Structure 1
């Protein structure tokens, strides 16, 4: 009897749980890639208008907090600002999927919270950059997904040959299949699966439209529409707003220096615009298919559908070539529509929302349990707020280099800034601080296209001077740039803990003038390509009524996420007690790479032991080792506004005598022109203390992220790791590497994109390949390897030669099947025995892989 009663209670409880789950709403997030709001793309999507806009709420002021896909997506799915996720760029060391996993966000993002609350969770399409066929298993089990179809590299951006990674299966390519249609089919299959399970579900659908297409061998090209949409909108052109290719320069920093676009460029940009609109038609169809599938399962009335884009896009505004990454409205304001139970139909909302609000909103509406410290807030379903809960602010941040429309970093121009938008009933303001010192203030009520910078002007807004207004805006930016959780939601309360200031108008009260006049100002110590706290001092802000200052450590804005904190910097001011480095890749770096050429002494004599000679047949005895210096100039870019940095002369290559081990002259130190010395703050060149040594200061964290070899050295119990963990600094010896090749590799893995040459000679690329192979960092330089290989002028020779052997080695290291097959076949057909090394300077440590293999593949 007791057992029967217990069974009855268990059955009843299970029935209650099942009923509660059945009543929970479903959630679908459709996330476009690079779709604009300001350039009218939504006007060309009639199905979205009919099925979403007319059936829900459209948000007029919804912002991406970073105008770049990878950090924007990381923030959207975690509800955390980029300075808290520390995912701030596209690829390691500052961003990409490896960084997302390394920071632990794969187990602290929206699907995990939904799955723990009883939801079936699915994800289709693009997750983020650098999610590829080599690393997709990393962190996958912890992601909280019941099913997924990721679009991964190398096929993420190939519209007609995408690569899909399904659940725990190996990736599969789909040549000839239009990617968005494939994605629609797979997404609908997951809805069918959820319907059978009779459980609430969360589904993220992530097409790449209208992002650029990537074609192997051709690089980035215009977006590709589905066949059925080709030729649509033949007369469409980029809207000719006042910011469209203006006669006078606009914007700040490098944007202000751009030349006016030519008629030919404008025509091509209009074509580019039409291709984007055509590509978006497949997304329009996807929305219709999604609605039809929900209707078929009788799920539509209990499903929230959120439509948005990771970031916006500009085309010719402020003289900019097609792209993103800027703080201006075209890049940061994005479409945002919500339909579902309890949502008003056909309404627009003027409250300020951002991607940080999406995750906490879904968690709240689902009745799920989140982390409790989201940086974003729950969006009100009706799209309105009360005076007690004003929604007036958003912060936009960015780190990195200036890039062209192919997302390839260009010259020494820096694109690091902090910006805020503050919107109320009687004001609509933009404020920005660039790392090089430029400031911008725009009154968006009268200047919605951001053409008249009011910084330091005599204009008045809200009845106060620009100086008084800027002091308030700067203080708000100071708080937001380091905020976490409630401080991000209520930044005025961080400055005024008494709660008397909730809006900008409140803060403009004259009784606070002295407080804001004495407040710290937003500043940058250095223009970084990622979030490094020490480069963004000050981080302290004063609080009203308290003489002391509050900083990020006190409000826990940093340390728990593994970022460099000011307190930790006190322990790494060690450079003054070490020998001066000859090259500084990271001025705060904890590691010195000590490069030593053992065949050299100060008088040029050899002092190493004589090594055994191998009896290697020289099949091409006439070939002398010729080391062509690195070409210092960069190839032309597609962006006419880019100003190339002055060229840096390459060090002279050592002369090598064959066949015996050579006596090599010390490489000459690169000659740097004065203007370059001023620009390159993160790679200061000094005279080496000893001509046989190079001391290169680098970051331990960058090395660990990029290379398992360096990770083992620094954390694996080796002598160097013991020293590093004990002292916070260490020297790592290296022998006989080419200094220029090593600097190229180190700059690449430190994210110094605009100091990495885009064009290498075959000889130099082979030297870099030796280092990539030795340190096992192919993934960290993946994008650079494709750029270098595409730019090679030397083609694979048809006869046996030095260039052929170099191609053989390069194709082996960078895993180029076609080139490896071609070069191998030629080598085998021409060789009558052992393959000559041609005296290519590969260290013997590398040659330890096997003499016969090295005779074929190296050198």
Structure 2
């Protein structure tokens, strides 16, 4: 009896201590990092990400992490606001940030946190102006460059030469901020990498490390291929990949826009209308990722050396995924797994058990409320996401079993339609809005590569109708029953796509 009392007392004191603890938080965001491009996932044979692997082994791996839109600006705005894209209205890479939007670091500042932003902002404008919510600010214009960047350091332009690599520089600034912080206040670091956004350029120390790495083509890569496809004979190269098979394929019900996109800017046969070859492009991506992985390692090493691990929580996440040939596509934007699914790791030795696996559906809309929960900052009433802190602590709480997705047609990339999607633990339904096309329904357990569209199967008709109703109920409930439009003067110039039109 005495032993039970002592255990209960320890448990109470531990919970009370957590409630009073003001944890430091480091949030590391990578660009275009797909969910399975980490060594421990064993998807890309030969890929080594030792520091990400360490986070997963000694912290929590959120296995079903998704973004609400697979596009830079909308995803980043969702992370910062706790709102779905249709609610914060930054629905593409040109939409302005409304003046009334509040970013969650603002609430942390009000509660005494020292806050710093380091890296790619890319939201609302191409400028690198200091944004609200951050005491320290280091950024760059637009997408920036990998080598010798010009950074905006608290509004002052600082140019670098001598082969300075941007992932290293941003990490340097983040570590400097933590070193110079006031010791009597907690801190929040938002380290937002350019890597691994194209055009992929690895650090010189990593260039060539994967030159002999082979590529295993995804089964869906050739579903949309024609006799004229540029890459139908690509695999005669030394990579000699093995194509996994054995999955049912419904060639008749592949949406026309997917077939057409293979031969477009975001397809494997035309690849950005430029000169990248698929295999070097693929290897450059993985080599560029090494700079981001090393950044994670440097942050963890700093926290260890400065005795900060026990009162710091480290997040690692991607802003969206990236396609490497699935359905004949590259890039992102669409609602297939490799685009809308992202890596999400959380490391906190003081309260997360090593090897924790979180199976529940978590989205980028949940990041802001979770970090505020960790910081003991009250959740704003307008947030649409929820804190998954209890899931990290293996507590049983009511939680969603759906991920919702939206993408709005972009003037610059007309080959991809507006679409909405809902994904459960077994099925995905994609509503291709804005064209008279077929919609999509996949059984992800039987068809993980999304090759067998079940939408015309009579036995699945009610299931599809139910999912469609869920999408529009979600949009209505969260204020999304409108298609965002902007004047053409705000659109990028793409005269090469529209000649003699007004």
* Secondary structure of the corresponding residue to residue 70 of structure 1: helix
Match of 1:60 in 2: 63
Distance in 2 between the 1:103 and 1:447 partners?
A: 44
Residue ranges of structure 2 left out of the alignment (5+ in a row): 1-16, 226-250
**Counterparts of 1:421-570 in structure 2 under 5 Å?**
421-423=423-425, 427-437=426-436, 438-458=438-458, 465-484=459-478, 533-535=481-483
C-alpha change, 1:351 and 1:89, in structure 2 (3 Å) is: same
Deviations 1:379-401 (A, max 9, x none): 14445574x71421111101123
Q: 1:230 aligns with which of 198, 207, 214?
A: 207
Task: Choose which of 151, 169, 191 in structure 2 pairs with 1:164.
Answer: 151
CA positional deviation for 1:166: 1.2
Q: Shift of residue 128 of structure 1?
A: 1.7
Deviation at 1:257, TM superposition (A): 3.1
Question: Unaligned regions of 5+ residues in structure 1, if any?
Answer: 1-18, 214-222, 403-408, 459-464, 486-530, 536-562, 564-585, 587-700, 703-746, 762-767, 769-859
Equivalent position of 2:345 in the other structure: 337
| Contact 1:343/1:382 (8 A) holds in 2 | no
Which structure 2 residues correspond to residues 806-821 of structure 1 after superposition, within 5 A?
Answer: none
**2:30 paired residue number:** 32
Closer/same/farther in 2, CA of residues 356 and 45 from structure 1, 3 Å limit: farther
Distance 1:104 1:263 in 2: 43
Query: Closer, same or farther in 2 for the Cα pair 1:159/1:752, shift >3 Å?
Result: closer
Tell me the equivalent position of 1:520. Answer: none
Describe the SS at the equivalent of 2:415.
Answer: strand
Aligned length: 445
User: What does residue range 252-331 of structure 1 map to in structure 2 within 5 Å?
Assistant: 252-258=255-261, 268-320=277-329, 322-331=330-339
Q: What's the offset of the Cα at 1:306?
A: 0.6
Aligned to 1:174: 160
Provide TM-score, normalisation by structure 2: 0.81
Shift of 1:119: 0.9
- Partner of 2:139 in structure 1? 150
Partner of 2:238: none
Matched, 1:358 2:367: yes
SS of equivalent to 2:324: coil
Q: Report which of the two structures shows the higher radius of gyration computed on alpha carbons.
A: 1
CA RMSD of aligned residues (A): 3.1
Q: Which has the higher contact order (CA 8 A, sep 6+)?
A: 2
Kindly indicate whether residue 112 of structure 2 is the aligned counterpart of residue 118 of structure 1: yes
Instruction: Give the whole-Å Cα distance in 1 for the aligned partners of 2:103 and 2:468.
Output: 31
* Mapped contact 2:268–2:325 kept (Cα < 8 A): no
Does the 8 Å contact 1:33/1:311 carry over to 2? yes
Distance 1:31 1:441, change over 3 A: same
Alpha carbons of structure 1 residues 323 and 251: separation in structure 2 relative to 1, 3 Å: farther
1:419 aligned partner: 421
Deviation at 1:234, TM superposition (A): 1.6
Residue by residue over 1:701-760, the C-alpha shift from the partner in whole angstroms, topping out at 9 and shown as x without a partner, is 74xxxxxxxxxxxxxxxxxxxxxxxxxxxxxxxxxxxxxxxxxxxx342x3876x44699
**Equivalent residue, structure 1, for 2:223:** 246
Conserved 8 A contact 2:321-2:340: yes
Change (3 A) 1:375 1:317: same
TM-score by length of 1: 0.48
Secondary structure of the equivalent of 2:116?
strand
In the TM superposition, residue 199 of structure 1 has moved relative to its aligned partner by 1.3
CA distance in 2, matches of 1:149, 1:428: 42
Asked whether the 8 Å contact 2:57–2:355 carries over to 1, the reply is yes
Alpha-carbon offset, residue 239 of structure 1: 3.4
Match of 1:109 among 100, 103, 113: 103
Deviation string 1:130-158 (CA, Å, 9 cap, x unpaired) is 6444x725xx4xx12111111224xx431
Contact 2:428 2:442 in 1 (8 A): yes
- Confirm whether residue 369 of structure 1 aligns to residue 378 of structure 2: yes
Per-residue deviation at 1:38?
3.8
Deviations 1:422-462 (A, max 9, x none): 12xxx34344333214311100010111111111213xxxx
Cα contact 2:62–2:344 (8 A) shared by 1: yes
